[in-house]
Structures are given as C-alpha cells and as structure tokens.
Amino acid sequence: MDTTEIYKQLGVSPSVLAFGEEIRSGLHDRFTAFDKVAEHNQMKVLLAMQKNRVSEECFQSSTGYGYNDHGRETLEKVYADTFHTEACLVRPQIACGTHALAIALFGNLRPGDEILSPVGKPYDTLEEVIGIRPSRGSLKEYGVTYRQAELLPDGSFDYPAIREAITEKTKLIEIQRSRGYLTRPSFTVERIGELIAFIKSVKKDVICMVDNCYGEFVEEYEPSDVGADMIVGSLIKNPGGGLAPIGGYIAGTRECIENAAARMTCPGLGAEVGASLGVNRSFYQGFFLAPMITKGALKGAVFAAKALSRLGFPVTPDAAEPRTDIIQAVTLKSPECLSAFCRGIQHAAPVDSYVDPEPWDMPGYDSQVIMAAGAFIQGSSIELSADGPLREPYNVYFQGGLTFEHAYFGILKALTLMEHEGHIRL
C-alpha cells in the first residue's frame, strides 16, 4: 500500500492531498532554516547535559519530602545552563504554565507592589491570577495592583506610554512572548531584549519576567539571554518534548528563583523538598528531544499558514514571517468553520480520533472554548492541537505535532472536513 492510499483510508480527499503537496513543495528553504536552529539548540541542550554529568542515577525516583533528589537537582542545573540563568525550578508539582506564572508572581511581589504589562492584556487564565477578573486568592486581594500599556496599532511597543506607566510602585514587568487569544504579533527574542533594555533604563531594579510558553527553542536564543530576570513555561509545551506528563519551570536570577521556591512549597523549605515521583527520566528525555519536536511543530505551523492564507483566511503570522512561537492563528470568520477545523484536527489524532469536540466553559476563560486535543498527555499543546474561543472573529490557534508529518496530516484532515461542509472550495 503506498502513501497516497493510506491518506485516502485516513479520509483525506484527493483534491486536498494534491493541494497540500503543492504547498509543501514550496517550503524547502523555510524548513532548512528551522533545521539549522534546531541543530543549534540540540547541541546547547547536549552541552548542558554533559557539563552537569547526567547519569543513569539521575533517573531514579524520590518520594515523600524528596530531600537530596540528585536527579531533580541535576535537571534544574541542566535547564539553568541551557537557558543561561543562575538557577531554575523544574517540578512536577507545578500543574501548568499558569501555575508556574502564579508562583513566580506571588513569590516576588508583596502588598503595595504593582505589576505592569507593556504588551497589552495578558493571557486569559492570568487575568484571574492578577485580579483583572475577580477571583478568590488573586494578587489583587493581597494588595498587588496592576496596570498595562497598550501596543501601538502596528503591534510595536509604545515606549512613551511604558515610560509613563512605570512608577515607584512598579516592582515587576510581565511580558507575554506569545499572542495568546489575540491577533497581535508574538515577539522575537531580539524585540524582547530591546524592550527590557528600555525598561531597565527607566527603572534599573525592576524585575522583568517573560511568559515564555510556546517559545522555547523556536530561536537560537531565549529571553534570559537578553536581560530577562525570569522566564517561565510549561513542560507540556515545548520543553517537555512530548514526554513530560506534567510540570513547569521557572528559570532566572538566584534571588527570583529562591523567592518563587518559597511560594511553590513554603518559607523555610523552598526548593529543598518536592519528590520527583518517577518522572525524572521523562523530564530529561523530553528536554533532550525538545529542539527537534519544536522544529516539527514550526514546520507544521508554516505549512498551515501558507495553505490557509492561499484559501483566503487571514493568518498571523504569515508563512514568510520570522517565528518566535509555535502557534499559528487563523481567522476562520464563523463558528461553523471554527468547529469544522477543530473537528478535523481531532479526527487526525492518535487518541480519541473518533470524537467530536464541543465548545465548553473551560476554567479560566471568559467565553466558551472549543478545543481539539487527541493527545497522549492531557492538554499537551506541543502535541497536535487546536483551540479557539467562541467569539468574533472566530480565530483558531493551531499548534504542535510531535512530528511534522502528523501536523501536515492534521491540516489535510481539517481542510477535507472544511471542503466537505462547504467552507472552502479547491
């Protein structure tokens, strides 16, 4: 049986397959550039592992308090060396990216301090952490205030507004690298570095924290290389490499990480406790594979951008723009088309391919969300997934794919369903 026949049995229409092959053939140079970045990052991770003498002993498990967990402590040194920071927390006790951000914020802020977002509103789930939307236990309840500076219409930073927004109370700057559920551009590491340099020129001692979710290993450098005091992310996104079953990380200056550790566990214990519970091997192997897994996701995102823009859908970023995260935003214009796309991605999954995703009231969001995620790890967005809020202009956010081939098939499957329901014509 040849590959074309397998695609046919998987439900891809001949017209969509031909269209996909045409789009794919024009992406050779773009894919080669991703290969080079991945090679750089693979060697960077390998260097950190060899420097810190990773051994089979590091894969052993700890229970209870988790005192003297050699594997956990070595892994955190590997992360810190890879991201060029003084210290790092890498823990299964961190439930998700939002939890990691909350730990970093609560650990480094005190009553009377103020957070500033210089890039507009933060991601939906962080709104309740901060208290923009009322929520029990928010920073607002602890006397931490918040303000934001909007981006300019072209998506660039409004430096005069940022300067004006920084006050004596400003303790921490929260910079979201990825776009979240917005259509504004994601930010390259270079642009983040320029922003941080400007902020530090206004107030030298302010903490600059970057929400690095979806951005790890997309470029050769990370925000910690250009002045960020903390970078924060989730292990069921890029750095977990599809193998980490849970977890998050916070990397940065020693003081910031010690403050975060005291909030992650409790004062007096900090980073000294927290059993690894058998996940060390997956954390190490996932981090080792992460540059290559991220490369596959990037290739899938660029293919999606080129294919869907050819069909008349607005995409952000377009297929030729520099990439700084793995997310591909597409404006599908109607709830029916959004549903069709997500059902197609779900039907392309290795897990739960036979179910249809439905919009639901997802915790932390202010509108219903439809999410396609037939993943080995629940909610893993380094695996093939797509989601979007049921609100105008009906954007879908496509990401992941542990291999490019799977991401490619996912888009073909989504296009086939969109074609069948009359949303596109080939």
The per-residue pLDDT for range 338-352, each reduced to its tens digit, is 999 999 999 999 999
| pLDDT value at 385 more than 80 | yes
**What is the overall mean pLDDT for the chain?**
96
Contact 16, 303 (CB under 8 A): no
Residues with Cβ within 8 Å of 168's Cβ and at least 6 positions away in sequence, in order, are none
Instruction: Give the sheet arrangement for strand 248-252, strand by strand.
Output: 87-91, 248-252, 230-234, 207-211, 170-176, 114-117, 145-148
Contact 372, 345 (CB under 8 A): yes
Q: Does domain 60-277 have CATH number 3.30.70.1140?
A: no
- Give pLDDT tens digits for 8-26: 999 999 999 999 999 999 9
How high is the pLDDT of residue 1? 80
How high is the pLDDT of residue 179? 83
CA 213-303-405 angle, to 5 degrees, is 85
How high is the pLDDT of residue 364? 67
Q: Does domain 3-41+288-420 have CATH number 3.20.20.70?
A: no
Upstream peptide bond of 393 is cis (omega within 30 degrees of 0): yes
b/e map of 390-426 (b: 16 or more CB within 10 Å)?
eeeebbbbbbbbbbbebbbbbbbbbbbbbbeeebbee
DSSP codes joined into one string, 45-94 = HHHHHHHTT--GGGG----TT-TT-HHHHHHHHHHHHHTT-SEEEEETT-
* Percent of the chain whose pLDDT exceeds 70: 100
b/e map of 332-352 (b: 16 or more CB within 10 Å)?
bbebebbbbbbbbbbbbbeee
Total H helices, total E strands in the chain: 12, 12
Domain coordinates in residue numbering, the chain: 3-41+288-420, 60-277
| pLDDT value at 289 more than 90 | yes
Torsion of CA 27, 30, 32, 35, to 10 degrees: -120
Overall average pLDDT of the 196-213 stretch: 98
How high is the pLDDT of residue 185? 85
How high is the pLDDT of residue 362? 75
3-state SS assignment for residue 119: coil
How high is the pLDDT of residue 125? 86
How high is the pLDDT of residue 180? 75
Overall average pLDDT of the 131-147 stretch: 96
Torsion of CA 9, 20, 330, 398, to 10 degrees: 50
Task: Find residue 91's DSSP bridge partners.
Answer: 248
Q: Which of 283, 246, 159, 234 is nearest to 399 (CA)?
A: 234
Contact 239, 287 (CB under 8 A): yes
Task: Find residue 146's DSSP bridge partners.
Answer: 115
- Give pLDDT tens digits for 230-267: 999 999 999 999 999 999 999 999 999 999 999 999 99
Is the backbone of residue 333 left (phi > 0), alpha (psi -120 to 50) or beta? left
Phi, psi (5° rounding) for residue 175? -115, 115
Give CA–CA dist 114/148, Å, rounded. Answer: 10
Pairing of strands 248-252, 230-234: antiparallel
Residues with Cβ within 8 Å of 2's Cβ and at least 6 positions away in sequence, in order, are none
How high is the pLDDT of residue 123? 86
How high is the pLDDT of residue 243? 98
Contact 384, 402 (CB under 8 A): yes
- Token output for 184: 């504004």
Length of the chain counted residue by residue: 426
Predicted TM-score (pTM) of the model is 0.95
Taking the alpha carbons of 103, 107, 112, 113 in that order, is the dihedral positive or negative? negative
- Give pLDDT tens digits for 47-68: 999 999 999 999 999 999 999 9
Overall average pLDDT of the 33-41 stretch: 98
CA 379-65-88 angle, to 5 degrees, is 55
Give CA–CA dist 332/309, Å, rounded. Answer: 11
| pLDDT value at 363 more than 80 | no
b/e map of 244-253 (b: 16 or more CB within 10 Å)?
bbbbbbbbbb
Rounded to a whole number, what is the distance in angstroms from the first to the last CA of the chain?
Answer: 26
- Give pLDDT tens digits for 308-328: 999 999 999 999 999 999 999
- Token output for 193: 């570095």
Overall average pLDDT of the 135-144 stretch: 96
